[in-house]
Amino acid sequence: MSTNNDSKMEEICKDMLEHDDFNSSGCGDMSFELSGDNADDLSPSPQTSRKKFNRDDSNFRTPAPTKLSFSPPYKRVRALRLFDSPLTPKTIIQNSSGPTTPLPRNRLFGDKPKAVACAYAEKEKPAANVNPFTPDGQLLSKKRSRSIRSLESPKFIVRPPKFELNESDMSDQEVEQPTKRVALQESNIPRYHREFLELELIGKGQFGSVFKCVNRLDGCTYAIKKSTKPVAGSAFEKTALNEVYAHAVLGKHQHVVRYYSAWAEDNHMIIQNEYCNGGSLADKIAKEPLSAAELRRMLLHVAEGLRYIHSEGLVHLDIKPANIFISIEKKVNLNTADDGFEELDSSTGQMYEEELTYKIGDLGHVTSLSNPQVEEGDCRYLPNEILQEDYCHLTKADVFAMGLSALECAGSGPLPKNGPQWHAIRRGHPPLLPQILTKDLMELIKSMIHPDPIKRPSTIQILQHRALNPDCTKSKADLTRELNAEKLRNEMLVKQLKEAAMCIKTIQNSSRLIGKKVNRSVSTTTF
Ligand X SMILES: Nc1ncnc2c1ncn2[C@@H]1O[C@H](COP(=O)(O)OP(=O)(O)OP(=O)(O)O)[C@@H](O)[C@H]1O
Residue list, annotated binding site? 202-210, 225-226, 323, 362
Site for ligand X in 57-96 (CB under 6 A): none
> Whose CB is nearest to Mg ion?
362
* CB count in 10 Å sphere of residue 220: 11
Q: How far is the CB of 305 from ligand X (least distance, A)?
A: 13
Q: Per CB under 5 A, which region of 100-108, 126-134, 227-235, 356-364 contacts Mg ion?
A: 356-364
User: What's the gap between Cα 277 and its chain centre?
Assistant: 22
H/E stretch holding 478 reads helix 476-516
Count of CA atoms in the C-beta half-sphere (13 A) of 25: 18
CA–CA separation, 424 vs 88, rounded Å?
Answer: 52
b/e per residue, 402-411, with b = 16+ CB within 10 A? bbbbbbbbbb
Q: Per CB under 6 A, which region of 28-36, 163-171, 203-211, 213-221 contacts ligand X?
A: 203-211
CA-CA-CA-CA torsion sign (231, 236, 238, 243): negative
Closest CB to ligand X among 220 and 479? 220
Looking at 22, 83, 192, 207, which residue binds ligand X (CB under 6 A)? 207
Looking at 323, 327, 373, 395, which residue binds Mg ion (CB under 5 A)? 323
Binding-site sequence positions for ATP: 202-210, 225-226
Binding-site sequence positions for Mg(2+): 323, 362
Q: How far is the CB of 203 from Mg ion (least distance, A)?
A: 8
Using rule CB under 5 A, residue 273 touches Mg ion: no
Q: How far is the CB of 282 from Mg ion (least distance, A)?
A: 9
List the beta strands (DSSP E) in 296-397.
Answer: 314-315, 324-332, 343-344, 351-360, 367-368
As a residue count, the chain comes to 527
CA–CA separation, 374 vs 63, rounded Å?
Answer: 27
Binding mask 358-397 for ligand X (x = CB under 6 A): ---xx-x---------------------------------
CA–CA separation, 370 vs 314, rounded Å?
Answer: 8
Which ranges constitute the DSSP H helices of 408-458?
419-426, 439-448
Residue 160, strand partner residues: none
CA–CA separation, 158 vs 511, rounded Å?
Answer: 91
Q: How far is the CB of 248 from ligand X (least distance, A)?
A: 15
Binding mask 188-227 for Mg ion (x = CB under 5 A): -----------------x----------------------
Q: How far is the CB of 344 from ligand X (least distance, A)?
A: 27
Closest CB to ligand X among 36 and 364? 364
Looking at 74, 156, 163, 275, which residue binds ligand X (CB under 6 A)? 275
DSSP state of 381: G
Q: Are 280 and 343 in contact (CB under 8 A)?
A: no
CA–CA separation, 269 vs 261, rounded Å?
Answer: 11
Q: How far is the CB of 362 from Mg ion (least distance, A)?
A: 4
CA torsion 8-13-18-21 (nearest 10°) is: 130
Query: 3-state DSSP call for residue 527?
Result: coil
User: What's the gap between Cα 45 and its chain centre?
Assistant: 24
271 binds, among ligand X, Mg ion, none (CB under 5 to 8 A by kind): none
List the beta strands (DSSP E) in 385-456.
Answer: none
How many residues belong to the site for ligand X (CB under 6 A)? 22
Q: How far is the CB of 283 from ligand X (least distance, A)?
A: 6
For 56, residues 6+ apart whose C-beta sits below 8 A from its C-beta are: 46
Q: How far is the CB of 276 from ligand X (least distance, A)?
A: 4
Closest CB to ligand X among 325 and 400? 325
CA–CA separation, 121 vs 104, rounded Å?
Answer: 14
CA–CA separation, 74 vs 91, rounded Å?
Answer: 16
For 33, residues 6+ apart whose C-beta sits below 8 A from its C-beta are: 84, 112, 130, 140
Question: Is 452 an annotated catalytic residue?
Answer: no
Site for ligand X in 277-336 (CB under 6 A): 279-280, 322-323, 325
Using rule CB under 6 A, residue 263 touches ligand X: no
CA–CA separation, 341 vs 491, rounded Å?
Answer: 22
Q: Which of 84, 318, 378, 398 is catalytic?
A: 318
Using rule CB under 6 A, residue 242 touches ligand X: no
425 binds, among ligand X, Mg ion, none (CB under 5 to 8 A by kind): none
Looking at 9, 39, 93, 276, which residue binds ligand X (CB under 6 A)? 276
Closest CB to ligand X among 10 and 283? 283
The residues carrying an active-site annotation are 318
Residues contributing to the site for Mg ion (CB under 5 A): 205, 323, 362
Residues contributing to the site for ligand X (CB under 6 A): 202-203, 205-208, 210, 223, 225, 257, 273-276, 279-280, 322-323, 325, 361-362, 364
